Each structure stands twice: as structure tokens, then as C-alpha cells.
């Protein structure tokens, strides 16, 4: 049984100061999110033991991997972490089967109990048809799946993934995403996933830690953090918005649309290939939501949701962000100050949030 991972670290790396505090839940995906240079890789390398911080601690339950006050610094092989890098780093002289077996060999040498077996990993990652191939004959997505399998077969207590999809094109990313979701849902293992992609963390993460300039500035459940206006600048003006938990309630095959229900209304989105009752996440970008003060008629926009203004927040340049309450949910709309004044928006005013179905593409609907 795994435990939560408590992290408090500080280090000076040249002119860069690292100062982070957060907790990784005992299961699910925790995303380390931030722009390039925010300290994500420094944090994950500290967890792995590759980088030695100058102060702080890393604790999994009662076990300390690092504690500067107690003089504890557990060597890399003894930390029982699986590490998946941006590049797969497979052994070119071994086939897929040999690369996977290496993970098991490492675990046995360290005396770790074998809790996940070779056949289970092969099945989870869909590697049955690849076992006899060499890495040179694999696609980028296939190589990353093998790297994932090797890491899992080392019997880790924590799986570390440092931007594992960064080097892959769109189709290869789409290929590997479902396998990462299966690991998240079926293994009950804490996964720390480094990324600067809002799309990736929206789909995969349960918990998120936002890093900026070497500091942890936010940590909490994904839905709460992504929907909090105070973090919009760190997420990015054009990426900030809201993540809604939705349920598939109907399909319209003739028009290739799916109807989703959430705590505040219903949305029409491009067809999602999931059964009725399935759960999905929808990311509504603030820049893609328009507002109206009267019930709209004869519009091409498919989603018109009644609500009221909860807050108006000044943003950089000519913009304001309007937080709209829709039943038990909120969404955010990025509009100009001029539009806000023209619509005479104030807190409590009834409005309609207008969302195009085409804006809710496959990247926005995390299946």
C-alpha cells in the first residue's frame, strides 16, 4: 500500500533559487505544471535523487528519502522510483522483451517484492505484438510505452514522468494517452507528471502543483486550481478557463454530436465515443466564452447557458475576466473592458454564457 509523499525542498542552482512545498496524494496523477524554467525538472530530479537539495525533506509516510536536518539522503537505486524521461532511453542492443525484463532484474537485485508482473504490464500497455522488436523499429509512442513498462517492472513506489509526450507529434500523443490513463486508474500508484501542457494535465491529472520562478505557488485538486481566477496569469491568458466534470447523457449520430450534463446545465460537443453515463472533463477556455445580457435567439452558437455575474476581475491590457455562476458551477469569460461597460455588467446581473460547439474540440473534451 502506498502513502502520500510530503515534499519541502530548497536549493540554489547557480542564480536559480528552488523553494517548494507540496504533498502528492497516495494515488492518482499529480501534475507539476509551469512554464519553461519554472523548476519542474529540478523538483522531479530531486525526488529521484539525481539532484541533492541543500535543505528540506522528501517523506513517504514514515520513510524519509531525504532530510537535511537528519542527514538522510537515500541513494537513487534505493528510492524505489520509476523514472520516464522525455526520450525513452531504451537499450538499443535489447529487444522490447529484454528492455522490460531489465526492470524486473533491477527490482529483484534490490530485494523489492514483485507486485506487478511482466504479463500484467504487457497487457496494460498493449505491448503483446512488440516483444520481439528492437527499439529502432518502434514509433515514438511505442518506445515511450516500453519505457513506461520498464519503469513499472522495477516495482516503484512512485512513478515519475518528465514531459513524456513532449517529443511526440499529435497522433503519437493520442496513441499513448489512454495507456497513461489506464495506469492511473488501475494501478493505484502515485504518479508525478511534469508538463507545461494544459491539455495534458486537464486530461490526466487529479491534483496539480503550479510552479513559477522556482516556487510552488499553488497546490490542490485540479478542478479547484484550474478554475481559480487568481492563477489565470500563471496558466496563461489564452489557456486559462474552467474545467467541468461532465456525464455523457445522449448522442446524436446524425449530426455527430454528444450531449453532456454538468452541475449547472448541459453542453453540446463534437461526438465523443463513450457510452451513456461515462464521465468526461471539459475545459472551457475563458477567451472562447461570449456573454449576452438577453436570452439569445437565432444564433449558430449551440450552447447558451443562463447564469449571473459572480465577479469581475481586471486583467492585463484591455481585458477583464467575468466569473459567471451557472447553478453549482462557474465559468470564466475573457472580454474587453469596453464590452463590460457596454453591457453594464455588475455582480449579480443575469447573463447568458455563449459557447460554440466547435470550440469544444477533442483537446477540450478529455475522454
Tens of pLDDT, residues 303-317: 999 999 999 999 888
Mean pLDDT to the nearest integer, 289-312: 92
Task: Examine the pLDDT at 255 and tell me if it is beyond 90.
Answer: yes
- For 208, 259, 294, the CA distances from 267, given in Å and listed in that order, are 26, 6, 19
Task: Examine the pLDDT at 46 and tell me if it is beyond 90.
Answer: yes
**Rounded-to-integer distance, Cα 263 and Cα 327, Å:** 6
Higher pLDDT, 214 or 363: 214
Higher pLDDT, 239 or 217: 217
pLDDT of residue 42: 94
Q: Among 234-243, 291-300, 351-360, whose mean pLDDT is lowest?
A: 234-243
**Rounded-to-integer distance, Cα 202 and Cα 365, Å:** 9
Residue 224 Ramachandran class (φ > 0 left, ψ -120 to 50 alpha, else beta): alpha
Task: Examine the pLDDT at 238 and tell me if it is beyond 70.
Answer: no
**Rounded-to-integer distance, Cα 258 and Cα 230, Å:** 32
Comparing CA positions, the residue from 228, 230, 268 lying closest to residue 246 is: 268
Give this prediction's pTM.
Answer: 0.85
Task: Examine the pLDDT at 248 and tell me if it is beyond 90.
Answer: yes
**Rounded-to-integer distance, Cα 101 and Cα 272, Å:** 37
Whole-number percent of the chain with pLDDT over 90: 68
Give pLDDT tens digits for 72-121. 999 998 998 999 998 889 999 999 999 999 999 999 998 899 999 999 99
Task: Examine the pLDDT at 266 and tell me if it is beyond 70.
Answer: yes
Mean pLDDT to the nearest integer, 258-274: 91
Q: Among 67-71, 120-124, 199-203, 318-322, whose mean pLDDT is lowest?
A: 199-203
| Beta-bridge partners for 268 | 259
pLDDT of residue 361: 60
Q: How confident is the model at residue 237 (pLDDT cuts 50, 70, 90)?
A: low
Mean pLDDT to the nearest integer, 21-32: 94
Task: Examine the pLDDT at 31 and tell me if it is beyond 80.
Answer: yes
Q: Which domains does the chain have, with CATH numbers?
A: 5-226 (3.40.50.300), 241-366 (2.40.50.100)
Q: How confident is the model at residue 300 (pLDDT cuts 50, 70, 90)?
A: confident
Amino acid at each position: 500500500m502506498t502513502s502520500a509523499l510530503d515534499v519541502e525542498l530548497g536549493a540554489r542552482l547557480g542564480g536559480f533559487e528552488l523553494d517548494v512545498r507540496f504533498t502528492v496524494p497516495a494515488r492518482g496523477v499529480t501534475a507539476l505544471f509551469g512554464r519553461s524554467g519554472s523548476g519542474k525538472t529540478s523538483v522531479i530530479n530531486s525526488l529521484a535523487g539525481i539532484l541533492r537539495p541543500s535543505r528540506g525533506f522528501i517523506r513517504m509516510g514514515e520513510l524519509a528519502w531525504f532530510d537535511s536536518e537528519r542527514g538522510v539522503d537515500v541513494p537513487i537505486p534505493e528510492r524505489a522510483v520509476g523514472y520516464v524521461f522525455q526520450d525513452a532511453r531504451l537499450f538499443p542492443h535489447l529487444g522490447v522483451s529484454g528492455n522490460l525484463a531489465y526492470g524486473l532484474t533491477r527490482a529483484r537485485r534490490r530485494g523489492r517484492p514483485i507486485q506487478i508482473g511482466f504479463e500484467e504490464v504487457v497487457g496494460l500497455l498493449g505491448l503483446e505484438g512488440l516483444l520481439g522488436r528492437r527499439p529502432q523499429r518502434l514509433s515514438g509512442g511505442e518506445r515511450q510505452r516500453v519505457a513506461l513498462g520498464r519503469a513499472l517492472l522495477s516495482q516503484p513506489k512512485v512513478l515519475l514522468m518528465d514531459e513524456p509526450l513532449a517529443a511526440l507529434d499529435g497522433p503519437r500523443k493520442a496513441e499513448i494517452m489512454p495507456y497513461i490513463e489506464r495506469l492511473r486508474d488501475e494501478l493505484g500508484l502515485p504518479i508525478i507528471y511534469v508538463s507545461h501542457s494544459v491539455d495534458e494535465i486537464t486530461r490526466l491529472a487529479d491534483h496539480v502543483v503550479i510552479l513559477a520562478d522556482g516556487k510552488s505557488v499553488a497546490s490542490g485538486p485540479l478542478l479547484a486550481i484550474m478554475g481559480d481566477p487568481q492563477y489565470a496569469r500563471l496558466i496563461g491568458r489564452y489557456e486559462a478557463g474552467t474545467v467541468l466534470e461532465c456525464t455523457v447523457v445522449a448522442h446524436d449520430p446524425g449530426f455527430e454530436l454528444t450531449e453532456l450534463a454538468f452541475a449547472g446545465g448541459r453542453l453540446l460537443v463534437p461526438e465523443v465515443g463513450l457510452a451513456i453515463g461515462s464521465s468526461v472533463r471539459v475545459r472551457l477556455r475563458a477567451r472562447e466564452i461570449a456573454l449576452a445580457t438577453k436570452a439569445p435567439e437565432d444564433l449558430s452558437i449551440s450552447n447558451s447557458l443562463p447564469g449571473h455575474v459572480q465577479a469581475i476581475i481586471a486583467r492585463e491590457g484591455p481585458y477583464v475576466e467575468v466569473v459567471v455562476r451557472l447553478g453549482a458551477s462557474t465559468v470564466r469569460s475573457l472580454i474587453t473592458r469596453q464590452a463590460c461597460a457596454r453591457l453594464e455588467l455588475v455582480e449579480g446581473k443575469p447573463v447568458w454564457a455563449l459557447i460554440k460547439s466547435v470550440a469544444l474540440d477533442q483537446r477540450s473534451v478529455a475522454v
